[in-house]
Amino acid sequence: MNNIELLEKYKDYTITNIEDLILKMKLEDDLSMMQSTMLLVLKFKLTIKEADNYILNSQAWQDSKQSVEKFRNNIFDNISKLDN
């Protein structure tokens, strides 16, 4: 499905039931964290940071949170080393 089709499919979801939407995007539609973040930005007019925060802290992605944070921290640590 493309973004327009997905947005139509998710039209009845609101920010108050965002947990249900995130779970549906992951389990039923097999969207990645990045795809889900992008759709939250488009649907709710969130910033990337806000949408990422919803995804990363959702129940649906709880099993990946620690590894994603470790990966991101590693990237930022390596970038910092390049600056020095």
Separation CA 84–CA 82 (nearest Å): 5
Would you place residue 67 in the very low, low, confident or very high pLDDT band (cuts 50, 70, 90)? Answer: confident
Count how many domains the chain has.
1
Q: What does the mean pLDDT of the chain come to?
A: 91
Would you place residue 79 in the very low, low, confident or very high pLDDT band (cuts 50, 70, 90)? Answer: confident
Please check the confidence at residue 57 and state whether its pLDDT lies above 80. Answer: yes
Each residue's pLDDT tens digit, 13-41: 999 999 999 999 999 999 999 999 999 99
Would you place residue 81 in the very low, low, confident or very high pLDDT band (cuts 50, 70, 90)? Answer: confident
Q: Give the DSSP letter string of 11-77.
A: TT--GGGHHHHHHHHHHTT---HHHHHHHHHHHH---HHHHHHHHHTSSTTHHHHHHHHHHHHHHHH
Residue type present at position 74: N
Separation CA 18–CA 33 (nearest Å): 14
Residue 47: give the domain boundaries. Answer: 3-83
